[in-house]
Amino acid sequence: MSLAGRAALVTGGGSGIGAEIAARLARDGAPVLVADLNLEAATRVAEAIRAAGGQALPFRMDVASEADAAAAVREAEAQFGRLRIAVCNAGITDRSPVLEMSLAKFERIVRTNLFGCFVTAQAAGRAMAAGDAETRGGRIVTISSVSGQFGGTGRAAYGASKGGIETLTKVLAVELAPYGILVNGVAPGPTQIARTAHGPRQRMAFLDRMAVKRYATPADIAGAVAFLCGDDCGFVAGHILNVDGGFATAGVMYDPAEGA
């Protein structure tokens, strides 16, 4: 698909899924502002994109800062033209049990994941909604998680933040559609990135409930994001696309040949 000339902002673009999303959008023709709190990481990603023939620049951004979000949108438009794509990807996680989690830790995760998604989407939406019917429009893609759809051990803050993102996505879709802005979300299942670091028991707990018996790669997630940003997805709004190997679909799975 072609995203040529459609300026894009990707938060959390310095590593993992965000880096792959930035690279995929650039391969599809979008000039990308790679935003991350870690400017050095964002710079490496942007340099790799340029080395591969794409357009990209790094930008340091505290994802929960309204001032940083507004500045990122201004920078993207100053460098690449009107913002047409925003991917609210930045996020952090923790696996603390409820009875042991501090309020400070809970707040940090929710602030980064949920507040950060809202602040980025709001800043991008304001830019995309400006002007008349001929100039308005764009795509906003949020990144949630299957952890926001189920109760899972150690995921009080992370699950709450991601569940909030899914509802926020639907509200954004309803409110921004009149401006020609389509808002959708991608909910990854277990994905093989550096910070996943799942041990054997945790991996088995996921894989036992998955129709596709492997973890996702960042490229699997990036492909779904690219689809939601492209012309073939012009009549989808407020949808959460699970990219989870069937995790949310599966019930009890066993080989009947082994008996009850």
Among 158, 179, 215, 254, the active-site one is 158
pLDDT tens for 2-23 read 899 999 999 999 999 999 999 9
Query: Which helix (H) or strand (E) covers residue 33, if one does?
Result: strand 32-36
pLDDT tens for 84-112 read 999 999 999 888 899 999 999 999 999 99
- Cβ-proximal residues to 164 (8 Å cutoff; 6+ apart), any chain: 110, 113, 114, 148
pTM: 0.92
Q: Catalytic annotation on 158?
A: yes
| Cβ atoms 64, 91 nearer than 8 A | no
Lowest mean pLDDT among 98-112, 116-130, 178-192, 204-218: 204-218
CA dihedral defined by 70, 74, 75, 79, rounded to 10 degrees? 160
pLDDT tens for 210-251 read 778 788 899 999 999 999 999 999 999 999 999 988 878 876
Report the Cα 56 to chain-centroid distance in Å: 18
Locus of tokens 């401006």: 179
Tokens of 138: 């764009």
- Residues 174, 192: Cα–Cα separation, whole Å: 33
Kindly state the percentage of the chain with pLDDT values over 90. 75
- Residues 24, 1: Cα–Cα separation, whole Å: 11
CATH 3.20.20.370, applies to 7-243: no
